[in-house]
Amino acid sequence: MYSYRKMTPAERAEVVAARKAQGWPWHAPPHFDTGVGWYVISAACYEHREVLCTVERLSEFSLALLGGLQGELKAEVQGWVVLPNHYHLLLRTDLDQFRRWIARLHNGKSTQWNREDESPGRRVWFRFSDRWVRSDRHYYASPNYIHWNPVKHGYAERADDWPWSSFHEYLEQVGRDTLVDWWKQYPVRQYGQGWDD
């Protein structure tokens, strides 16, 4: 996501030209609005700063995120994880409605946290990216990737050590043996490569 800053001026010009030619935003994730469907949503704090840096913030944001998705948006959430500097979701929703709703949530939490941290005007979020779920394999590999994320980024030794995730719901509903089978059947491998670097 932030590799642009490491590019030479020529590489940057090439990337921007390619994005312009495709009609994509120059420096933001494109959104391919296919209406209601299954999506993997990823959002990161600006420059991956750890703004959700306390237990209270992680818990509060998780509750606000899930409460709004399942309440106001009536989204079907099948996987989620919230980390100190980004989050991932697997959900069925209307992308256009999600876009408007998440902008309000991001704005409200940014304002709150900037007041708490005495950091007026600080940029907290760097938009979000969406990936339309293209196959059964993509769908079933997504919770594995989402639940593994705290381990991948060094926030936990094991998935069940991280409380801000749907892993515990899966564990309770289907059991550890089934989760192990799913991990073998739908391996993560290079899933999500470059999404939150």
CB 81 within 8 A of CB 164: yes
Cα separation, 86 vs 45, in Å, equals 6
CB 85 within 8 A of CB 44: yes
Classify 117 as helix, strand or coil: coil
Q: From the CA atom positions of the chain, what is the Rg in Å?
A: 17
- Which domains, and CATH codes, for the chain? 1-30 (no CATH), 31-185 (3.30.70.1290)
CB 81 within 8 A of CB 146: yes
Compare 115 and 193 and report the one with higher pLDDT.
115
Predicted confidence (pLDDT) per residue in 13-70, tens digit? 776 666 566 555 444 455 455 678 999 999 999 999 999 999 999 999 999 999 999 9
CB 158 within 8 A of CB 151: yes
Cα separation, 44 vs 82, in Å, equals 10
Predicted confidence (pLDDT) per residue in 117-173, tens digit? 999 999 999 888 888 888 888 999 999 999 999 999 999 999 999 999 999 999 999
